[in-house]
Amino acid sequence: MSGDALISVRNLRTAFGAHVVHDNLNLDIERGEILGVVGGSGTGKTVLLNTILGLKSADGGDILFNGRHFSELGLSERRQIASHWGVLFQNGALFTSLSVLENVMAPLREHVDMPVSLMEEIAGMKLGLAGLDPSAATRFPSELSGGMRKRVALARALALDPEILFLDEPTAGLDPIGAAAFDSLILELSRALGLTVMMITHDLDSLYEICDRVAVLADKRVEAVAPIRELLNHPHPWIREYFHGPRGRAALAGKES
């Protein structure tokens, strides 16, 4: 990687009352990379994501975007920066009362002043990028399969032409074929659009197939961040158990076969 950090997390501390989730956590998300984030239950993967997004306030430390300290910016500047982010939440978080097209248009309605006809055209293009047929536009989330809902959520995340995508367990709930197809889509979009991607996942196949680096959360911090092949030799007990357990061995064997 180039060492060109798009987002830098510095000395982050997060807590819920007396329960400390992160303490002195540091992480760089480099421009153009796909960064996987893993960790055991309770290590605060989604808390880290929400803190970067500003959905949770940090209890210490700072987050920089393109070298600018987020905590020092005014509300309008924060909103401007956030408009360059696309987010796919774990369960898609689609609006059940809105059609597929209306869901994808939602960020445009919030952030951009343009005619509805142009918003509809842009939303249709994003659905195409996410691999959905135009006929899906008039359907509602309840009428879609799990894989299609993920793709609609991805199209919505792409609506504002983001610089970085945040994905929270994007392949959770998908069968192996659907998960592999979604991984391929993320990789293709990242390369074609020059996207930076931060992806929280438990899917070892995803880590091997599309991630440039993997950050491991343990002991309230980022214990290690490196290409997955380097992590295979890391001495930390959780890292060894995760990557050398039955699922880890199966994912590695599948990559090498």
Identify whether 203 is part of a domain: no
Report if residue 8 sits inside a domain.
Answer: no
Residue 112 lies in a domain: yes
For residues 149 and 205, give the distance between their C-alpha atoms in angstroms, rounded to a whole number: 21
Q: Would you say residue 117 lies in a domain?
A: yes
Give the tokens for residue 63: 């987050």
Token code pair at residue 85: 């982010």
Largest Cα span, the chain: 56
DSSP for 64-95, written as a single string: EETTEEGGGS-HHHHHHHHTTEEEE-TT----
Q: Are strands 213-218 and 34-39 parallel, antiparallel or unpaired?
A: parallel
pTM of the model: 0.90
The Cα–Cα gap between 193 and 66 comes to 18
Tokens of 61: 């430390």
Any idea which residue has 């329960």 for tokens? Answer: 19
β-pair type (196-200, 164-168): parallel
Asked if the structure places residue 128 within a domain, the reply is yes
Residue 12 belongs to some domain of the structure: no
- Is the separation of the CB atoms in 150 and 99 below 8 Å? no
In eight-state DSSP terms, residue 138 is G
Q: How large is the C-alpha radius of gyration of the chain? A: 18
pLDDT value at residue 199: 95
> Helix, strand or coil for residue 216?
strand
Q: Taking Cα atoms as reference points, which of 80, 162, 168 lies closest to residue 129?
A: 162
Residue 233 lies in a domain: no
| Domain assignment of residue 28, yes or no | no
Residue 217 has a pLDDT of 96
What is the domain range of residue 145?
91-162
DSSP letters of 6-35?
EEEEEEEEEEETTEEEEEEEEEEEETT-EE
Domain count, the chain: 1
Per-residue pLDDT 10s for the chain (257 aa) are: 446 889 999 999 999 999 999 999 999 999 999 999 999 999 999 999 999 988 898 999 999 988 888 777 777 787 777 778 899 987 768 888 999 999 999 988 888 888 999 999 999 999 999 989 889 999 999 998 888 899 999 999 999 999 999 999 998 888 888 899 999 999 999 999 999 999 999 899 999 999 999 999 999 999 999 999 999 999 999 999 999 887 777 777 777 66
pLDDT at 114 (0 to 100): 87
